[in-house]
């Protein structure tokens, strides 16, 4: 059976990415010009949601894990691209976590 042990690296990357995306969204809400950060915050929330879903599906050995991980990689790429536009430490950290997660998801799928 496939599941947690088979996908451990990808699950770990997804959970780390989700946590950092949540941190980034929260930190973005504290920035002076929150409106300028709206797209970043939205993508952070979307990325965290799909990362958590991907980790859950992989951990239970879902037959849809690979499909969801492909979508996760795409959303991680979009989030990384947006966060890379900002010269803020939490956005830089988020962009890096998203890039790593996208790589793991593509390797898994």
3-state SS assignment for residue 1: coil
Q: What pLDDT digit, counting tens, does each position of 64-105 carry? A: 999 999 999 999 999 999 999 999 999 999 999 999 999 999
pLDDT tops 90 at residue 3: no
Taking the C-alpha atoms of residue 92 and residue 84, their distance in angstroms, rounded to an integer, is 6
Do residues 94 and 46 touch, judged by C-beta distance below 8 A? no
pLDDT band of 4, cuts 50, 70, 90: confident
Angle at 17 between CA 6 and CA 93, to 5 degrees: 140
Q: What pLDDT digit, counting tens, does each position of 18-67 carry? A: 999 999 999 999 999 999 999 999 999 999 999 999 999 999 999 999 99
Do residues 79 and 43 touch, judged by C-beta distance below 8 A? yes
Domains along the sequence of the chain with CATH: 4-108 (1.20.1270.360)
Q: What is the DSSP string of 89-102?
A: HHHHHHHHHHHHHH
Whether the pTM exceeds 0.85: the reply is yes
């Amino acid at each position: 059976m496939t599941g947690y042990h088979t996908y451990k690296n990808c699950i770990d990357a997804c959970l780390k990415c989700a946590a950092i995306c949540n941190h980034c969204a929260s930190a973005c809400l504290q920035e002076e010009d929150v409106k300028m950060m709206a797209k970043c915050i939205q993508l952070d929330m979307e990325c965290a949601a799909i990362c958590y879903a991907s980790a859950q599906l992989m951990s239970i050995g879902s037959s849809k894990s690979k499909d969801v991980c492909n979508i996760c990689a795409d959303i991680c790429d979009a989030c990384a691209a947006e966060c890379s536009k900002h010269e803020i430490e939490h956005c830089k950290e988020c962009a890096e976590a998203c890039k790593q997660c996208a790589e793991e998801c593509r390797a898994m799928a």
